[in-house]
Structures are given as structure tokens and as C-alpha cells.
Amino acid sequence: MIHTLASACRRIALALQAGVLAILLFSSAAPAGASLLHLAGPEPGGLGVSRGHLSDCPTPSHCARENWRVEDPGAALDQLLPALLAIEGVDLVESGPLYLRATATSRLFGFVDDVELHADPEAGVIEARSASRLGDSDLGVNARRLARLRSALPAS
């Protein structure tokens, strides 16, 4: 009987510890940009503009890439900067007259995605690319991020 009671007490103590840990980890006391883990992964090669264009996606399961036809790509890129920075977890890494690069860090696990925008005045487009550094699937996060950015542009 004492063994059973001690075993029950240990189970209760473990359950209480797990509950306290969950409350601490998921409480809103942490800063908005904080995450449980920081699964950044290495910065991938192939970022930036090469031969006048952003890289293609290696696979659509964790990367999204689109071209948006706009009247003035430079002005459109200027419009996209505040929309990009308004996305939770986004940090600007590089900014130029025709190119923006940022990282987007997920709140819970700290997964890092690379977001790139390139204004191509000759073609009249904004090239947009968002790719996860880690994992086999992004569950549509990168495509939704690009859709949100696209919605910040006026209809053309």
C-alpha cells in the first residue's frame, strides 16, 4: 500500500511539474518575438539576385515563388517594405533600391524562413520568394506569406 501511495504521489508531482512547465512556456509573459526553440538552420546559398532574377524554388513543399506584374516595380517595392515589416517575426536583413531580404521566424518553434523581393523594372514585375531553411514541408506558410504581401499592392 505504501508503494502504491508513493507511486501515485510521484505521478501527481510529475503531472504538476508538466503543467507548470506548460504554463511557463506558453504564457503570454514572453515577448511577442520569443520562441520556444530557435531552429534557424544554416543560411542557404543562392539568396539574392543572380542574372537579374531570384532563384527558383528547389521544391514547392517548403518554398513559394511568384512574379507580380506592377506598373512601377521600384515604387511597388517601396510599398511592400512596411507590409513586410508588419508581419510578426520578420526582421529586415538587406535593403536596396531594387531588392529586399528578410528573415521570418515562427513564434512557437523559431523556424526561420528567408523572404526576398526583387523589383525588375525591365520586365515590370516584382519577383517574390519565401523559403523555409529546414524541413520537408512548410504547411503552406510561405505561400500565405506571399499572398499577404501581394494583397498590399494595388490591383494592376
CATH code, 138: 3.30.310.80
Maximum Cα interatomic distance, the chain, rounded to a whole number of Å: 83
In a domain, residue 125? The reply is yes
The predicted-structure confidence for 78-126, as pLDDT tens digits, reads as follows 999 999 999 999 999 999 999 999 999 998 888 999 999 999 999 999 9
Query: Is residue 94 in a domain?
Result: yes
Whether 31 has a pLDDT exceeding 50, the answer reads no
In a domain, 144, yes or no: yes
Domain that holds residue 106: 63-151
My answer on whether 93 and 18 are in the same domain is no
- 138 shares its domain with 89: yes
Q: Where are the beta strands (DSSP E) in 12-147?
A: 63-69, 90-95, 99-105, 112-120, 125-132
Residues 19 and 78 in one domain: no
30 pLDDT higher than 60: no
Alpha-carbon distances, residue 64 vs 4, 23, 25, 31 (angstroms): 56, 35, 31, 29
What pLDDT was estimated at residue 154? 79
pLDDT at residue 18, as a whole number = 53
What tens digit of pLDDT does each residue of 114-132 get? 999 999 999 999 999 999 9
Is 133 part of any domain?
Answer: yes
- How many independent structural domains does the chain possess? 2
> Has residue 81 been placed in a domain?
yes
- 87: Cα within 13 Å, side-chain hemisphere: 25
Give the per-residue pLDDT at 60.
87
